[in-house]
Amino acid sequence: MTDAADRPETSPAQMRKVVSASMIGSTIEWYDFFLYGTAAALVFNKLFFPAADPLVGTMLAFASYAVGFFARPLGGVIFGHYGDRIGRKKLLMLSLVLMGAATVLIGLLPTYQQIGLWAPALLVLLRIVQGFAVGGEWGGAVLIVAEHGDARRRGFWTSWPQAGVAAGSLLASGVLALMAALQNEADFLAWGWRVPFVLSVVLIGVGYWIRATVEESPTFKAAVSEQAELPKAPVMDAIREYPRNLLVAGGLKFAENISYYVVSVFSITYVTQALGLPRQTALNAILIASAVHVVLIPLFGALSDRIGRKPVYAFGAFGMLVWAFALFPLLDTRDPIWITVGCLGVMLFHAAMYGPQAAFMAEMFPTRMRYSAISLAQQVTSMFAGSLAPLIAAALLATTGSGAAVGWYIAGAALLTGVSTLFARETKGRTFAEIDAEGRG
């Protein structure tokens, strides 16, 4: 079944162009966002939050990292509101510029030793701008792909901007790992960590140019032409008409978000501080796992087009529940190979959730409120899940002295997401025309 009734047919060449532009833009924008998390685990505790206890400094750095997530719901609501009223493309362009400017300025910031408390204050402010920008980016990036493609391959097509998020993490980890490998500790702390942030100015220029070549979503344009008036408050419409779908979508996000940030951010701190291993060991493990992750996401997205969104997502959630108890014993071996295996397992089950996620959520809401609804579900959940995950994990480690408690934390989140998956309605094959015609959820 296709979306022929929704919109004019998108040619294969145009579809590839849309997907490529969305993925490249997402890669660049999320590179900026993830760069902060990796740097928070490696250098921000020393340069912006100096403390007698290294773990306390790390927790303060992770707290500043979390602030970006608390800005994401605001970005999601505002970008979603205007994205549902004036279009997906314009908001995507704006988010890219905001993110790039904030990231470059972080790379130019003086440290605590140079300007005192102004350094962490400005760092937190720029992190808020990053969070605001990325809060609006995700919904637009996946929807401009979803609304160009058809129902038959929507899981596959929308998995590519999702893979762009993973590629951004890979790029951030890779650049920092390269800088760390080429420099000694003193040079890396003095200036080497700044290079990946300032480099963002080039990447943002490329991403902006690529996204500028993409057409506005035909599904959105068709929906606007058919509406007597634009929705005045699409986010309120979503809360009033689709509360169950919003809760289910938030539940789907919970474990995916927590598990990812524990392994991509906190595990670096765990391996370097709790286990006393070189930072290169942690970065290499994340780098390898992230590379595999980028490949797995489209595979699971395509699988959801064949067997359904629910079974693929359930495999990811319940698989993560089991793997949560294996992760820290594998890290505790102190063996680089087993550390990498531990990270790879998390990325495998994460990809099973993340691959079909964009299509799954987009198919829960009608076009008139879709940007607002999926952004709200994503970003509010991220505020309570991914934002606090490294901080909670660090607190659990400080309290118990063991990674086992963090494993239980991941397992609890995975159980919640698994139950949410069971309550979700299967959406595979539903056209946007059918969804728009259904009325209230």
Q: Could you report the per-residue pLDDT of 42-68, keeping only the tens digit for each?
A: 777 788 877 645 666 666 666 776 777
Give the total number of structural domains in the chain.
1
In this prediction, residues 240-267 reach a mean pLDDT of: 93
Q: Is 2 inside a domain boundary?
A: no
Q: Is 355 inside a domain boundary?
A: yes
Q: Is 44 inside a domain boundary?
A: yes
* Parent domain of 298: 12-217+230-436
Distance CA 127, CA 56 (A): 20
Is pLDDT at 294 greater than 90 in this prediction?
yes
Distance CA 405, CA 427 (A): 36
In this prediction, residues 228-243 reach a mean pLDDT of: 85
Q: Is 1 inside a domain boundary?
A: no
Q: Is 164 inside a domain boundary?
A: yes
Residue 17: CB atoms within 10 Å: 17
Distance CA 52, CA 311 (A): 49
What does pTM read for this prediction? 0.84
Q: Is 305 inside a domain boundary?
A: yes
Distance CA 220, CA 375 (A): 16
Q: Is 5 inside a domain boundary?
A: no
The domain that holds 84 is classified in CATH as 1.20.1250.20
pLDDT tens-digit series, residues 195-225: 888 988 888 888 788 778 888 878 888 877 7
pLDDT tens-digit series, residues 337-395: 999 999 999 999 999 999 999 999 999 999 889 989 999 999 899 888 987 898 899 89
Distance CA 441, CA 248 (A): 12
Residue corresponding to tokens 């680089």: 336
Q: Is 6 inside a domain boundary?
A: no
